[in-house]
Structure 1
Amino acid sequence: MTEKATFAGGCFWCMVKPFDQFDGIEKVVSGYIGGHVENPTYEQVKTGTTGHLEAVEITFQPDVFPYEQLLDIFWQQIDPTDNEGQFQDRGPQYRPAIFVHNEKQRGLAEKSKQTLAASGRFQKPVVTEILDAVPFYEAEDYHQDFYKKSPDEYKEDLAKSGRVEFIKDNWEKVDA
């Protein structure tokens, strides 16, 4: 049996690869969630006026790859203290959020957020929202598996985004 997990963490191009490499992860789809326009296009969403966030929807086998592990990966891909966008991508369509599909996910997401907030890892408050999952709209085909289809452009975008440095500075430190 599979479940879905949906995470917004800035540019969806950078949110696919971290999840797309484990047994138990069946599919990672780039798309849009949370807005007021049905079947939005990238051109509409990038204006920041549709209410949608760029996100990834992950189909996973919880008995092989538990939701808690997905949450751990998610937190380590974002700046949970920045609700105005992520890294070089600014605007409401790039803010981070966890979209929960059931009460079990909600409980686990809330617990993980509280644990992170209490960890002292960040000087500013953890502001990433936990929201109910609403319709998810798959992004255009050219956005799917972008890191595989356009590896040079993906690497260039990732390198200039500031994401890699943030992750290194905040997550790859040896914990005392």
Structure 2
Amino acid sequence: MTEKAIFAGGCFWCMVKPFDQFDGIEQVVSGYSGGHIENPSYEQVKSGTTGHLEVVEITFQSDIFSYEQLLDIFWQQIDPTDDEGQFQERGSSYRASIFVQNERQRTIAEKSKLELNNSGRFDKPVVTEIRDAAPFYAAEEYHQNFYKKNPDHYKEDRTASGRDKFLSSIW
């Protein structure tokens, strides 16, 4: 069965590759969700005035790759204790969030968040929001599959952000 999942984890460039390598994942699209402006531009979202977050929308075959597996990957890409952004990307448009499509996803996401919070892996509480899905707007074409189109820039950005250093220390 084809489903969609939407995750915000800071810069959407860094959130595509971790999902874009498994059987059952049909597509990972960078975009914006959660705000009050239709069809926002990158500049508008980055300004922090639209209410949108940078997100990835994942189309997946849930009988091949489960929502639980997606959540496991998601948690391992972010700092779930930071509600001011992610790594070097600060501000509301870079906050981590899970946008659930239905009550089944909500139940699974809440259970997953609780388990992570109780795991003792972090010394602060897990604050990542679980929100109802909102309209998704695909980002401009130059943002799509950035890690493939601009591998050197992608690698430099990930390194400079501190994301990889943090993730390797936790996971």
- SS in structure 2 of the partner of residue 120 of structure 1: coil
Which residue type is aligned with residue 37 of structure 1?
A: I
Q: Does 1:39 align with 2:52?
A: no
Partner of 2:137: 137
Q: Does 1:114 align with 2:114?
A: yes
Kindly provide the CA deviation profile for residues 43-88 of structure 1, in whole angstroms up to 9, marking residues without a partner as x.
1000011000000000000000000000000000000000100000
- SS in structure 1 of the partner of residue 79 of structure 2: coil
- SS in structure 2 of the partner of residue 55 of structure 1: strand
- SS in structure 2 of the partner of residue 134 of structure 1: coil
Which structure 1 residue ranges, 5 or more long, are not aligned? Answer: 172-176
- SS in structure 1 of the partner of residue 104 of structure 2: helix
- SS in structure 2 of the partner of residue 107 of structure 1: helix
The alpha-carbon deviation at position 98 of structure 1 amounts to 0.2
Partner of 2:54: 54
Which structure 2 residue ranges, 5 or more long, are not aligned? Answer: none
- SS in structure 1 of the partner of residue 44 of structure 2: helix
Q: Does 1:95 align with 2:95?
A: yes
TM-score (norm 2): 0.99
Partner of 2:17: 17
- Distance in 2, matches of 1:168 and 1:156, equals 17
- Distance in 2, matches of 1:143 and 1:19, equals 16
Which residue type is aligned with residue 46 of structure 1?
A: K
Partner of 2:65: 65
The alpha-carbon deviation at position 31 of structure 1 amounts to 0.2
Kindly provide the CA deviation profile for residues 2-53 of structure 1, in whole angstroms up to 9, marking residues without a partner as x.
0000000000000000000000000000000000111000010000110000
Which residue type is aligned with residue 63 of structure 2?
A: D
The alpha-carbon deviation at position 106 of structure 1 amounts to 0.3
- Distance in 2, matches of 1:119 and 1:75, equals 12
- Distance in 2, matches of 1:158 and 1:167, equals 11
The alpha-carbon deviation at position 165 of structure 1 amounts to 0.5
- Distance in 1, matches of 2:73 and 2:128, equals 14
- Where in structure 2 are the equivalents of 1:146-161 lying within 5 Å? 146-161=146-161
- SS in structure 2 of the partner of residue 114 of structure 1: helix
- Distance in 2, matches of 1:24 and 1:38, equals 30
- SS in structure 2 of the partner of residue 49 of structure 1: coil
The alpha-carbon deviation at position 91 of structure 1 amounts to 0.3
Which residue type is aligned with residue 2 of structure 2?
A: T
Task: State how many pairs are aligned.
Answer: 171
Kindly provide the CA deviation profile for residues 95-142 of structure 1, in whole angstroms up to 9, marking residues without a partner as x.
000000011100000000000000011011100000000100000000
TM-score (norm 1): 0.97
Partner of 2:86: 86
- Distance in 2, matches of 1:63 and 1:166, equals 32
Moved segments of 4+, more than 3 Å: none
